[in-house]
Chain A
Amino acid sequence: MNQILKNDATIRWAVLGFFVLAVAGYFMEAWVQNNIMFGLARGLAVLGLMVLWRTGLISFGHALYFGIGAYVVGLVDRNFGISDIFLRLFLAVGASAFVGFFLGFILRKYRGIFFAMLNLAFSMVLYGILVKVESLGSTDGFSVSQTTILGWTPENKYALFAAIVFVCAVGAILVQCYLKTALGTLTTAIRDNELRVEYLGFSVARAIHLKYIMSAGLAGASGALLAMALGQVDPDSMVNWPVSGELVFITVMAGPGSVIAPFLGGVAFEFLRTYAFELAPEAWQLIVGATLLGIIFFLPMGLWSLLERIWKRRGVSS
């Protein structure tokens, strides 16, 4: 672990990048701060989806865990008045990872479109419950009170911003460490040839199960952070199927290249949506949809690959 922390270039860059972002955030305008906050929060879920994607699995239902995370924050706030960011986060991640652990036993047997669809079915079950049950807020959802940090009530959003940056940095580093472990390095191997991995003496099912729990927990953290940043949870923007679609969209847009990519993708998506909405309030979905198609066709490895290309070119010329 220590070795990895010291030697891994990605981790060094991630630490530096997140640190710079946390400092820069202090000087940003409130709306920029907000968009970055939303983007980073979503990035955590995308990080989990990226780990799955490297194994060759895409889930059309991670809004399930996203929604669980968000609603756990909302419910513990409403019923027990829990407002501490870390306590909220802990409960949200715990709940979603717990659900992921159980559903994982079923889902680890599925691949391809069946994996995507079964996840979708589970997420829609949750949606069907939330929308119809009055005590869970039905279609309206409910609002989430202001977040405190270890007993301190911050006066402006910057504290939450810094906390979210911190959580995302920790998430990125942990995932990077995991990918460097023996089990982690199997990720792409499983996608390429499951049988060989089995012959090597590893259980593919167990490896996938672990990744699934991880992605569930990350999506839960993501939903929880977004709920805190927004101050509101509701089924249509947290659990319905287009939310899952959006998360997969960002995953593909970001590309599988690095653990930092999901956060770039999340932030890019947030700004894309803001500007599309401002530019054409009646056709913003068209802009978003066209961007998605453009990326699938022209940048199949996502924005990250573009950055890598620029990086390399500069390296050659200098």
Chain B
Amino acid sequence: MVNILKRAKPRLAALASCLLLAAVTTGSASAKDTIKVGVVTFLSGPAAGPFGVPGKNGAELVIDAINAGTLPAPHNSKGFGGATLEPLFIDESGGGAKQVAEYRNLVEKQKVDAVIGYISSGSCMAIAPIADELQKLTIMSVCGTPRLFEEKDRSHVFRTQGNAVGDSIAAARYMIEMFPELKTYTGINQNYAWGQDSWKFYSLAMQKLDPTSKASSKPQFPKLFSGQYSAEISTMLLDKSAVVHTSFWDGDIEAFMLQGMVRGFFQQKKLVSVTGASAVDSLGKKIPDGVVIGTRGKYGLLVRNDLSDPLNAWFVREYKTKYGVYPLAPSYQYAKAILYYKLGMDKAAQAAGGFPSQDEVMQSLKGISFQSFDGEVSMALAKGRQAIHPVGYGLTKWDAKKGEPGVEKVRFYGAECINPPEGILSEDWLNAGMPGAKCN
């Protein structure tokens, strides 16, 4: 019961402030004072704690700040094209078909102006065709499968997060740079779009970057959210490969690390975790030093102590004040998607000289570059709908002074070093040896 109250309080406060703001700003010029946006994220299930709720918090923080006009420059104008955003948080759990039904409800019953969110690649793949069918602007915030735009052209879908290709190539580059002597690798990935693509592109990138490296014949693909990896860990311990690649996220990565730790997994294998930073925070001191950890961008663990960027500094500070913990990668990713929507609304409103239509907003969203909480983001791929940005990795290192987890030897790889240029499929580009990659 206490729990409910605790959670309800900030929400009530946010609601109250929204109402207050709405009341105060009613006099302003724009034709529409409030816009309704569906924000979809995991509110239940094993992905809620480590991904869904931090994502929701990030979204909430930034929505409140934009509504109040308190984001740092250059984003300090008030509102979304002048309007106040009223978020409608929806649970992402329950599978693709249920998400499609919920999406239809958002668009047709709630009549939202846009939908922002989606963490699982499964949800994104299910939603994208429906978004085009219902012609509703939809900004995907976290999911990573490259199939989203490579299988089909989309008309109403945008994604502010780089895809699994960039994550995987950056991982391969980091491993070759830091551990050139480790030539053999295997993987444990969830058996759906994200896990399959992550493994496919990691092994492809390793082959191309270091032809002497060798993949195991028995990579593991357990079911998403299975939580029990005893047998899989045994299989990999018997496997001779030195490196284990994983794109586990949600509760699975924590369960896997816990079960691995007591079984001496980290003494024998070098783990490369594409997006396991949430586990580093929740498991704290238990995580051994030297695990290769990524956050899929300049997010969370990798940048929380490097506050040179004013937007990042603001985000970390405000988030920590409001929620008492550090922001995680999904917090940044949701914040970024919200900010992106604001920029599109602002630009379109200015051009239209009033409240913009959805087509005008989409036109102004296409292909822009902007400064986000994670640095420079440019919507360079898929005809200006898919973001690219740097991706980095580091090694876990317990920070004894602060008594909290930290990282060392962080390297970021530029957006154009790990992503194909516009107009070529990722797989073809990798097979051709990544021509035109700009690394420095």
Contact = CB atoms under 8 A, between A and B. Distances in A.
* Chains A and B are bound partners: yes
Interface of A: 29-31, 34, 38, 131-132, 134, 138-143, 145-146, 226, 230-238, 274, 277-278, 281-282
Given A31-B105, A139-B122, A146-B133, A232 B100 contact: yes
Contacts of B104: 30-31, 34
Interface stretch (B68-76, B123-131, B155-163, B391-399): B123-131
B213 to A, nearest CB: 24
6 contacts: A29-B109, A141-B122, A226-B97, A233-B96, A274-B109, A278-B105
B192 interface: yes
B95 A234 contact: yes
Interface stretch (B86-94, B256-264, B295-303, B350-358): B86-94
Contacts of A29: 108-109
Contact of B98 (A146, A231, A237): A237
Interface residues of B, number: 33
A141 B100 CA distance: 12
Interface of B: 43-44, 89-91, 94-98, 100-102, 104-105, 108-109, 121-122, 125-126, 128-130, 133, 190-193, 196, 221, 223-224
Give the top 5 A-B pairs by smallest Cβ distance, nearest first.
A237-B97, A236-B95, A31-B109, A30-B108, A31-B108
Given A277-B102, A281-B91, A282-B43, A140 B96 contact: yes
Given A140-B193, A281-B91, A234 B122 contact: yes
B125 A143 contact: yes
Interface of A is mostly: helix
A234 B91 CA distance: 18
Contacts of B121: 140
A274 B196 CA distance: 33
Contact of A140 (B91, B129, B192): B192
Contacts of A138: 191-192, 196
Which of A34, A233, A234, A282 has the most CB atoms of chain B within a 10 A radius of its CB? A234
Contacts of A231: 100, 129-130, 133
A139 B105 contact: no
Contact of B44 (A141, A232, A282): A282
Given A34-B108, A281-B43, A233 B97 contact: yes
A140 B101 CA distance: 15
Given A34-B104, A237-B94, A237-B96, 16 more contacts: A31-B105, A31-B108, A31-B109, A38-B101, A139-B190, A140-B126, A141-B97, A141-B122, A141-B126, A143-B128, A233-B97, A234-B122, A234-B126, A237-B98, A274-B109, A281-B91
Given A141-B126, A146-B133, A232-B130, A237 B102 contact: no
Contacts of A143: 125-126, 128-130
A227 to B, nearest CB: 8
A34 B223 CA distance: 31
A103 B390 CA distance: 55
Which of A29, A38, A282 has the most CB atoms of chain B within a 10 A radius of its CB? A282
A278 B190 CA distance: 31
Contacts of B130: 143, 231-232
B223 A139 contact: yes
Contact of A237 (B95, B125, B221): B95
Contact of A232 (B96, B191, B196): B96
B97 A234 contact: yes
Nearest to A140: B122
Given A141-B126, A232-B130, A132 B109 contact: no
Nearest to A33: B108
Nearest to A131: B223
Contacts of A277: 91, 102, 105
Contacts of A34: 101, 104-105, 108
Contacts of A141: 96-97, 122, 126
Contacts of A235: 95
Given A138-B192, A138-B196, A232 B108 contact: no
Nearest to A30: B108
A282 B91 contact: yes
A234 B109 contact: no
Contacts of A236: 94-97
A153 to B, nearest CB: 12
A281 B91 CA distance: 7
A236 B224 CA distance: 11
Nearest to A139: B192
Nearest to B152: A143
B144 to A, nearest CB: 13
B191 A230 contact: no
B109 A131 contact: no
Which of A138, A145, A233 has the most CB atoms of chain B within a 10 A radius of its CB? A138
A237 B223 CA distance: 15
A226 B98 CA distance: 11
B196 A134 contact: yes
Given A140-B122, A232-B100, A281 B191 contact: no
A155 B50 CA distance: 42
Nearest to A70: B97
A193 B366 CA distance: 70
B303 to A, nearest CB: 31
A139 B130 CA distance: 19
Contacts of B90: 281
